[in-house]
Amino acid sequence: MKSVNISIENLIAELDVLPGVEVERAHDTDLLQVCVAGASVLLRVVERANGFPRDVQAAVLPRRAQLTPEEILFVIAPSLTAASRQWLQAEGVGYFDLNGHLFVQAKGIYILREPMAVKAQPPRSSEPDIFQGKAACVLHALLHSPHQAWHVTELAQEAKVAAGTALKVCETLEKMLWMERSGRGPLSIRKLTAPDALLDAWADKHRLKDYNIQRYYRWSGSLEELALVLGESLEQKGIPYAATLTLGALHRAPHLSELSELAFLLPAQADLTALVTEHKLQLADEGANVLFLRTKTEGAFLYRQRCEELWVASDVQLYLDLWASPGRGKEQAAHLRREKLVMG
């Protein structure tokens, strides 16, 4: 796939259309003078093909000593990751990418643009999706044991993925500065350095709408008893499941006392015909109290745990689902994280 390039001309064109902004290219090819409402600043532009934090920091840090007092550094790249943008802002370094993100901070000048929608998505993103499919299984294994050091082959075996998949995920995490590597070659060891940041980034990407959700209603005097009945029935039929959302939280870190619905993670291909008939479950668009969240991702069932007579999703998976759920889901997720997910 052809990569996308960015040049200082892209930046000039972007600044020229902003109201009250004047841009003049200085004698140096990488130096711009920008005037905003009478205030002026010199931007020393650094071009990057890759917008990962590791690469951005490697480009910025050595250049600082070369600046004059009137200059500030300014990074341009086809696409800058959210972590890179956050670091650049904290360091007072300006930036622009082809997605429309723009930041300039100097005396008398402050410009920040964070577009809601991507303006021009490059064919090759600098922030590949490691939060889906087999790659997510690797993240699950890492966050399940956040302080463990791994050989790539051991991590692949733990996550039940190919070694190449585990390696690509590790390389991405290193570029994000969320993982460090010691040693070289096959004997190198990798370890998470920022598990909290990784979990936050995953939670930000996770959406309940990614599941195929089937909603049913069944009257019951006790939803907790119904959950045990349905769990036992699923096991008898050979269907793996994992309780999630409020039902799962009730068994791992109780916080909210009211249980208004049951939610079960199920494989996408599971046949529920017999279960629905046997337990008289009625399809319900509204008022449903039994939810089946179908997923093609095997990682959703990694590290599921037996709680009393019920299989419950791992604390990592449970946190992701709760954080993505409406209402008081985030409150429940935060409580679970405090009680069960020790990342630091």
pLDDT in tens, 13-64: 999 888 888 988 876 678 999 998 888 899 999 998 888 999 999 999 999 8
Q: Are 323 and 341 in contact (CB under 8 A)?
A: no
Tokens linked to 249: 């939280």
pLDDT in tens, 167-220: 999 999 999 999 999 988 778 999 999 999 999 999 999 999 999 999 999 999
103: Cα separation from own chain's centroid = 23
pTM of the model: 0.81
Of all residues in the chain, what percent carry a pLDDT higher than 70? 94
pLDDT over 90 (residue 65): no
CATH 3.30.460.40 intervals, the chain: 208-340
Q: Which amino acid is at 274?
A: A
State the alpha helices, DSSP H only, in 109-162.
Answer: 133-144, 152-159
Tokens linked to 253: 């870190």
CATH 3.40.1350 intervals, the chain: 8-113
The mean-pLDDT minimum among 17-31, 159-173, 252-266 falls in 17-31
Task: List, in order, residues 6 or more apart from 53 with CB less than 8 Å away.
Answer: 81, 83, 84, 87, 175, 176, 177
pLDDT at 5: 80
Beta bridge partners of 112: 103
Task: Evaluate whether the domain defined by 208-340 bears CATH number 3.30.460.40.
Answer: yes
pLDDT over 70 (residue 122): no
Q: Are 227 and 247 in contact (CB under 8 A)?
A: yes
Beta bridge partners of 263: 291
Q: Which amino acid is at 321?
A: D
pLDDT over 70 (residue 92): yes
Q: What is the CATH number of domain 8-113?
A: 3.40.1350
Nearest to 313 by CA among 233, 267, 210, 244: 244
CA distance 36 to 78: 25
pLDDT at 141: 97
pLDDT at 344: 62
CATH 1.10.10.10 intervals, the chain: 133-205
The CATH number corresponding to 133-205 among 3.90.950.10, 3.30.230.10, 1.10.10.10, 1.10.3720.10 equals 1.10.10.10
Band of residue 117 on the pLDDT scale cut at 50, 70, 90: low
Band of residue 267 on the pLDDT scale cut at 50, 70, 90: very high
Q: Are 83 and 176 in contact (CB under 8 A)?
A: yes
Tokens linked to 126: 């600098």
Band of residue 128 on the pLDDT scale cut at 50, 70, 90: low
